[in-house]
Amino acid sequence: MNYFPYLYWDPTLLLMIPGIIVAIWAQARVNSAYNTYSRMPVMSGITGREMAARILSSHGIQGVQIDVSSGVLTDSYHPLKRTLSLSEANYSGSSVAAVAVAAHECGHALQHGSGYLPLKIRNAIAPVVSFASYLLWPLLIFGILLGYANTLSIVVYIFLGIFVFQLITLPVEFNASRRALAALSAQNMLTEEELYGARKMLNAAALTYVAATLTALLNVLRFAMLSNRRK
């Protein structure tokens, strides 16, 4: 009797290859775009923080604190804290990449201010998905090593929840980038070449969310197959 039914080559692993390839390609595009446009200074000399402040002010968004976060590309907007965090290079930098990333995070603040429905849904399910994700690996280990079909079924539902979360994230991120580009254009602080670079930067970043969604879907399919195999 085999007590460790998945400790051998599993053909369902082949399902993950497209996701891995797309994820690597998307991350390479982001790194390439960021490396290129972080070295391209904007002629106006405006920093990421200053651009964020101008965009928020011009849209009547008040009470949002702009602060610095450690690391590279750790930029984010926290709706509950009403905090817009920019990585140090984007906070104080005056490059095309810095203002593009800052504007994108402002896009999320504008979504929050206008009650953008997909953002509301994502924020509502985020705590549940986050908690379920903590349970994922222990369940995964027990389910795969011991071949518990019921445990694997729970894993499938967790991955399904992650997929739904990633699917909702797509319009949120795409819309934030559209708002960012419109805001950058309205500020009249960038040249046409700089706006083109900002668009390239944000389009590259969007690919990472597409890759994450694809990977989540492939995980659902893979573990659904593994679960059905044990029934």
Catalytic residue annotation: 105
Q: How far apart are CA 168 and CA 177, in angstroms?
A: 15
Residues with Cβ within 8 Å of residue 221, at least 6 apart in sequence: 15
Torsions phi, psi of 86, nearest 5?
-120, 135
107: left (phi over 0), alpha (psi -120 to 50) or beta: alpha
CB-CB neighbours of 148 under 10 Å: 16
d(Cα 109, Cα 106) in Å, to the nearest integer?
A: 5
Q: Return the closest-CA partner of residue 160 out of 206, 119, 220, 215.
A: 220
Question: Do residues 30 and 190 touch, judged by C-beta distance below 8 A?
Answer: no
